[in-house]
Amino acid sequence: MTEPAIRVVRFDAWVDPAFDTRLRREPGIALAVHPMPASPAIAHAALADAHVYHVSAARDELPAYCRVDDELLARCPQLLCASSYGAGFDPIDVAACTRAGVAVVNQSGGNAVSVAEHTLGLILAVTHRIAESDRRLRLERGLSRESLTGTEIAGKTLGLVGLGHVGRRVAALAQAFGLRVLATDPLLDDDEIRRRGAQPCTLADLLAQSDIVSLHCPRDAGTLGLIDSAAIARMKPGAILISTARGGIHDERALAAAIADGRLAGAGLDVWEREPPPPEHPLLALPSVVATYHTAGVTHEARRNMATISAEQIVGVAAGERPPRLVNPEVWPRYAQRFEAITGRPLAR
């Protein structure tokens, strides 16, 4: 007898076609792609019998009722897995999923090359004043080149807050530019940080010593507000802040104030508390801030890679395998019970 299909649901935010193509050729999976729902009732109806919900990683691109929280989980009794489109998983309440026995998976590492390259691009754009020169050249004549004098990064110190998939690639690129690299990461011991190309140090020492501080940590309870006004005040005078991590990890108002008063030299920011930030945001008014719209991982290569690995991970979930990018491993015993009860078969051994 044919086993019932694992039902995968996503809404029609753009994903690389590789995702749908892979799942549609898997006989044990039924993929449903629905229009972005206009109401909670429509969202809940679409997800009512889903086993896997593949959800956008960008919180501000989703209506609140499409985010995975206690209310949505209560309306989706068959849900086994919440799968994020990206490396981040802001729209998913991980604790709520764990309580409900729902596995949370992301695609960490799938866009690491693109995000690392973007990080170096932001560093160079700020220090060499590339974006500022571009803006002024389009609007002004008679400007002095010396008014756009930049700063070399060779010989400077780069501090990485987080040394995971992206951070370790940034460390390698930074060394090619002649930067000294420091790093702090609570998930890694000192020897592993050295193996990944950085000198281990505390966050306080990193802030005090670094000419460039770059954020590469996830947004979670331990990092939300990590770079607050006090941390910004401890940064080296004339330093710059780079973030391709997540909005909310750094205090935007405190950063704007520190740049406006000249204590910090500038910032390169790809992520924002609200995306996109309002046009009147104080950071957008500062010429030494280079702003991008959460596009560090938005390359053809990264999007295709993320689609491929997320589809393969869902294929594994459907087969009863433990997913390689499981965000909440503590859910596993409860998940195993629910998987067997819902699908009628045990997990793969």
The catalytic site residues sit at: 246, 275, 294
CA distance 291 to 268: 6
Using an 8 Å Cβ cutoff, are 104 and 328 in contact? yes
- Which residues 6+ apart lie within 8 Å of 120 measured at CB? 170, 173, 174, 177
CA dihedral 257, 258, 263, 269 (to 10 degrees): -120
State the distance between the two ends of the chain, measured CA to CA, in whole angstroms: 22
Helix (H, G, I), strand (E, B) or coil at 20: helix
- Please, is 44 exposed, middle or buried when counting C-beta atoms within 10 Å of its C-beta (0-12, 13-18, 19+)? middle
Within 8 A by CB and 6+ apart from 225, the residues are: 248, 249, 251
Question: What residue type is 201 in one-letter code?
Answer: C
Which of the 8 DSSP states describes residue 317? Answer: H
Compute the distance between CA of residue 313 and CA of residue 305 in angstroms, rounded to an integer. 12
